[in-house]
Structure 1
Amino acid sequence: MGTLVSFQAHPDDESITVGATLAKAAAAGHRVVLVFATRGELGEPVPGVLAVGEQLPVRRSAECFASAAALGAKRVEFLGWTDSGMMGEPANAEPYCFWQADVEHAARRLAVILDEEEPDVLTVYDDNGGYGHPDHIQVHRVGNRAARLAGVPVVAQSTFPRELVRARLAERLPEGVEPPAIDVDTFGKPEAEITHRVLAAGHAAAKRASMLAHRSQMADDHFLLTLPDEAFAAMMGTEHYVVDPLPVDVPELFTDLFTPAR
């Protein structure tokens, strides 16, 4: 059996981006580890979800452990930077936010965990962070550098197939379901750039449970949570990656989980 470490920017990112992959890996007996750059301090809490005096980053940290349990992850770590906010916001300039972190320093901190775990695969985001969020872009930079420092064989960049997203948003959705407002021209990557997929519709229930663990961020009327089980599995049960290059000796964990896109 192998080990998969998933490096994420904020609590709940693991659910949406790679939750089915992590659940499939854990169900197959592989070790799954989650590492978060921040505790999502600048997230907008669902109205009424926080108790009086409850701090959002404390709540979101706890939600990470509940999500990990739903996915089958065995370890959760936080690197300690703060949420940078969306691109162009004043929070991007705060000296302690992840966007301002020195890449080499942050990579060495992540590499300590990677050295301990000796993963076969590390997941990060694509070079635009999926949709341009500064913390996601920084995860790409820091994760790739840390993988080189620790000698991780495979770095899998989580992304979304742009053409498929555009087609799905154009489909007739169930009554009352409102899709998110996203820039489909920059969201994810073109299909031609995607190298691998993880086919994990059978683990969509674990992915939904992971999302439900993040109640401070996802209300019952969240776009994805309102989808019927079958539609949710169809939309969220296949996850997409850019993997380049692959080593000569591909780890068994990778071949167990990842399918070539072409």
Structure 2
Amino acid sequence: MSVLVCFHAHPDDEVFSTGGTMRSAADAGHRVVLVTATDGALGEYPDGLLAAGESLTSRRRDELETSAELLGAHRLVMLGYPDSGMAGTPENQNPSAFANVSVDHVAQRLAEILVDEGADVMTIYDSNGGYGHPDHIQVHHVGRRAAEIAGTAHVFESVVNRDHMRKLIEARPDWDGEDSSVDIDSFGVPADQITVALDVGDQIEVKRAAMVAHASQIGDFGPFLEMPTDELRMAFGVEWYSRVGSAPTELMETGLPL
């Protein structure tokens, strides 16, 4: 048995990029640990969703617990830092927000988890955090430093394949709304920077169920919940990684070293 630790910024981030990886690893008999850095308290949510006296933080914690169970996580750790919000927002100036906390301080906490679990593999994000979110960028730096402290040998950046996304949008223009804030030229990384293409197509309905679990984030998942299975598999049936410390080759790896 190997141990996989997936380190993410917010509740719900685990679904898109590593959900199939987590479920596949668990099904293969490996131990899966999900670590989430922030409370997700700045996420947008539908009016009327929260019950009287219920906070978004508690709702997102409950949603994350359900998602983690669906995805096969044996342990869930929420580090509990305040959500930093997007760059340029007032919340991003909060000195206690995750993006503003000392990298070494958080890395030490994460390293303790890695050592305690005997982690074989950890996933983080690329240096731009996929799309520039401050919390995602902080995950990259904290994860790299924690791996150094703990001596975790195999670290993989969970990435979005920019070229794959571009082909999808060209084939299905309705997937890219006119008011989209995503700049495809800066989103994710080009295919020639990716070292692993992990086929998780057989886990696509589990990923959909985990999306449904995050009811407060329907704005993020809504367009995909009713998508036909073959289209959902086309969009999210492969999870992409770049191995830290390894140069890409023409032949991508097809799995993580578990």
**Match of 2:26?**
26
Q: Out of 251, 255, 258, which is 1:257 matched to? A: 255
SS at match of 2:218: coil
TM-fit CA distance, 1:229: 1.1
**Structure 1 stretch displaced more, 69-78 or 165-174:** 165-174
Query: 1:221–1:186: structure 2 CA closer, same or farther, 3 Å change rule?
Result: closer
Moved more, 123-132 or 38-47: 38-47
Which residue is equivalent to 2:217? 217
- State the match for 1:152 in structure 2: 152
Would the alpha carbon gap of residues 145 and 44 (structure 1) be closer, same or farther in structure 2, given more than 3 Å must change?
A: same
Question: Secondary structure of 2:25's match?
Answer: helix
CA distance in 1, matches of 2:24, 2:12: 18
Please give the alpha-carbon distance, in whole angstroms, between the structure 2 residues aligned to 1:258 and 1:148.
19
User: Cα–Cα, structure 1 residues 108 and 204, in superposed 2: closer, same or farther, change >3 Å?
Assistant: same
**1:120 is aligned with what amino acid?**
D
Question: TM-score under structure 2 normalisation?
Answer: 0.91
For residue 169 of structure 1, what is the aligned residue in structure 2? 169
Q: Distance in 1 between matches of 2:17 and 2:91?
A: 24
What corresponds to 1:250 in structure 2? Answer: none
Q: Secondary structure at the match of 1:139?
A: helix
Structure 1 position 256, deviation (Å): 8.1
**Residue identity matched to 1:91:** E
Paired position in structure 1 for 2:229: 229
Aligned 8 A contact 2:38 2:98 in 1: yes
Provide, for residues 127-154 of structure 1, a one-character-per-residue CA deviation record: whole Å limited to 9, x for no partner: 1000000000000000110011111111
Is this contact kept in 1: 2:197–2:241, CA < 8 A? yes
Query: Which amino acid letter does the alignment assign opposite residue 182 of structure 2?
Result: I
Aligned length: 249
- Distance in 2 between the 1:167 and 1:123 partners? 25
Query: 2: CA distance between counterparts of 1:130 and 1:232?
Result: 20
What residue ranges of structure 2 are gaps of 5+ in the alignment? 247-252
CA displacement, residues 111-138 of structure 1 (integer Å, 9 cap, x when unaligned): 1111111111101011100000000000
Partner of 2:84 in structure 1? 84
Deviation for aligned residue 1:163: 1.4
Residue in 2 that maps onto 1:115: 115
Q: Which amino acid aligns with 1:257?
A: G
SS for the counterpart of 1:63 is helix
The structure-2 alpha-carbon separation of the partners of 1:165 and 1:21, relative to structure 1 and needing over 3 Å to count, comes to: same
In structure 2, what residue type is equivalent to 1:117?
A: E
C-alpha distance in structure 1 between counterparts of 2:168 and 2:70, whole Å: 27
Quick one: distance in 2 between partners of 1:118 and 1:224?
36
Aligned Cα RMSD in Å? 1.9
Shift, 1:168, TM fit: 1.2
Tell me the residue number matched to 2:70. 70
- Residue 194 of structure 2 is matched in structure 1 by 194
CA–CA separation in structure 2 for the residues paired with 1:167 and 1:225: 21
Distance 1:141 1:102 in 2: 10
SS in structure 1 at match of 2:5: strand
Residue type at the aligned position of 1:60 = R
Is the counterpart of residue 184 in structure 1 residue 184 in structure 2? yes
Distance 1:221 1:155 in 2: 27
AA matched with 1:137: I
In 2, Cα distance between the equivalents of 1:64 and 1:220? 15
Cα pair distance change 1:231/1:20, threshold 3 Å: same
Structure 2 CA distance for aligned equivalents of residues 45 and 72 of structure 1: 26
**What SS is found at the alignment partner of 2:217?**
coil
Contact 1:4/1:119, CA 8 A, preserved across alignment: yes
**TM-score, normalising length: structure 1:** 0.90
Deviations 1:79-111 (A, max 9, x none): 121100011112111011001010001100111
Secondary structure at 2:138's aligned position in 1? Answer: helix
